[in-house]
Amino acid sequence: MGSGQNIPIAGIMLAAVTFVALLLLGTDVIIALSVMTVWVGSLMVAAGRPPEPPRAASKKRLSLESIRELIENTSTPLVITERSTIALANHAARRMLGPHVIGQDARVALRQPEATSLLNEDRQGEAIVRGLVRRGDIWQINRQRIDERLAMLEFINQTAEADISRAHTDFVANASHELRTPLSAIIGYVETLQEGDSNLDTTTARKFLGIIEREAQRLQALVSDLMSLSRVEAEKHDLPTERIDLAVLVERAARDAAGLARLDRLVLEITAKPVVLGDRQQLEQVMRNLVDNALKYGAAEMPVNVRLDLTPGNLARIAVADQGEGIAPEHIPHLTRRFYRTDPGRSRASGGTGLGLAIVKHIVERHRGRLDITSKLQKGTQVVVRIPLAEAELSASSAVRTTSDHMVGPETQQLS
């Protein structure tokens, strides 16, 4: 008999009393002794066997423990419900819903009617829930049955996907509006000229033709910028590889943007000759857009300063500054949005498409650079582009640092 066994004393005593009673009743001694021996033996065997746990409870406990090990470190929030109670939640789900949800009624934890209706269904399914964690977020909840008691809830965050879809919809709507405006003007004036009214004098006809030409040029510029933006976005993950003398490029592109009519307002300060890995055409477009904006929106009599120098961290720095009316603080964070204008009427009158800074942002991002815009009312605006030098890009450690530390903002601090 093992030391861990418990002797069933009460049972043995009852067997002995039964043995004596059988003898008193005249039962043969051999038969009475056999009965007592079998009785006591069965008691001893039963006492030596370890207690068997309830099979269902053991199975459930092992099942939940194995599920916990499988789902704990997955990045997707997963919840295991037992009937209507949350029995398990992996790390991602606890971070999303809070650690207190374990043991809570799932309908109370999720709250949303779409989610609670999914929990009430005795089958697998899915539901789209809005505002589950914070206002405006969108989650898809998938429910999969494991057995008659357990089910798994999978939470898929669709907020970013919805934001991208909404951005695409807004872009198409804005682009359609921007294209329709000059087209309407062109069609209207052409129809007027085609009416063949003999009272339409030459001066008026020339005026109409001038408007048609201006709107057609605006339409051409808009289509050109849309195509540029599309190309830049398609190539933004391809690192440029051409070694470019930035000093030569900045000077040439700035002069081209100014043209002969505005060249006297351009002030160039090139104090370094950095070499970068870049896309020549795109970097020239950055310079033309920035210088053209500064000349358009700066004070007509005041100069536009273009400076190229080096900054700590192996970066080439291009700064374009005007001395115009400046930009109100609330507008600065939105300047790189497509079709965003602080003064729509003035922008359209000057031929602006509303895509210039959006294009600049994507180009700078492709070059692993950084874009900063600062402004102060009645004093002017400065746009600064920082791009890693070629030597820094060729260094693996510097490339990693550049990717993480010099993402496009734009950062929006005011000039002091």
Spatial contact of 158 and 140, defined as CB atoms under 8 Å apart? yes
Residue type, 24: L
- If we measure between CA atoms, which residue out of 307, 281, 309 comes closest to residue 294? 307
Spatial contact of 97 and 163, defined as CB atoms under 8 Å apart? no
Which residues in 229-279 belong to E strands, given as ranges?
242-245, 266-270, 275-278
Q: What is the DSSP letter of 133?
A: S
How far apart CA 33 and CA 20 sit, in angstroms, is 10
> Which residue in the list 100, 168, 177, 334 is annotated as catalytic?
177
100 as an active site residue: the answer is no
Cα dist. 57→63, 64, 344 in Å? 10, 11, 70
Structure tokens at 179: 């294209």
Length of the chain: 416
Quick check: helix, strand or coil at residue 7? coil
How far apart CA 292 and CA 262 sit, in angstroms, is 10
* Residues labelled as active-site residues: 177
